[in-house]
Amino acid sequence: MGQKKNERRVAEGQAMAKARMLRTSPQKLNLVAQLIRGKKVENALSDLEFSRKRIAKEVKKVLESAIANAENNHDLDIDALVVDQAFVGKNLVMKRFKARARGRGARILKPFSEITIVVKEVEEAA
């Protein structure tokens, strides 16, 4: 008997990769995601390589994973890939306290976030 095959989460000609529990705020991660949206994969990789943001290294890993998924799992041409979507979501927030003067305490929020990258194969106009 066996299990039924899982349905695809993305359309034909697309591949996806997701990273969860990235230790940065969604707002900061979205700045890096905006950097690569709609670009060709080679340009997006080079932009992430030379970005000064700390989280760009993790986003680059996710993009490379999406490219590998497209090539190995969906048989897409990696030279014709474009970053179709790059969206960011919230994850958990660790709450910590820091001792302050006069017996008070200050709350420290340590947010986590997640990013999903979808790459799409486009036909090049001749």
d(CA 15, CA 45): 16
Structure tokens at 110: 């340590």
Kindly report, residue by residue over 39-57, the tens digit of the pLDDT. 999 999 999 999 999 999 9
Separation in Å, CA 108 to CA 18, 60, 90, 124: 27, 28, 17, 49
User: In the prediction, which pLDDT does 8 show?
Assistant: 83
Write down the pTM of the prediction: 0.91
Average pLDDT over the chain, rounded to an integer = 95
CA distances from 77 to 11, 29, 33, 97 (A): 16, 28, 23, 50
- CATH number of 14-121, picked from 3.40.50.1100, 1.10.40.30, 3.90.470.10, 3.40.50.1360: 3.90.470.10
**At residue 77, does pLDDT exceed 90?**
yes
pLDDT value for 125? 60
Question: In Å, what is the CA distance from 92 to each residue of 12, 45, 79, 111?
Answer: 32, 28, 36, 6
What are the domain boundaries of the chain?
14-121
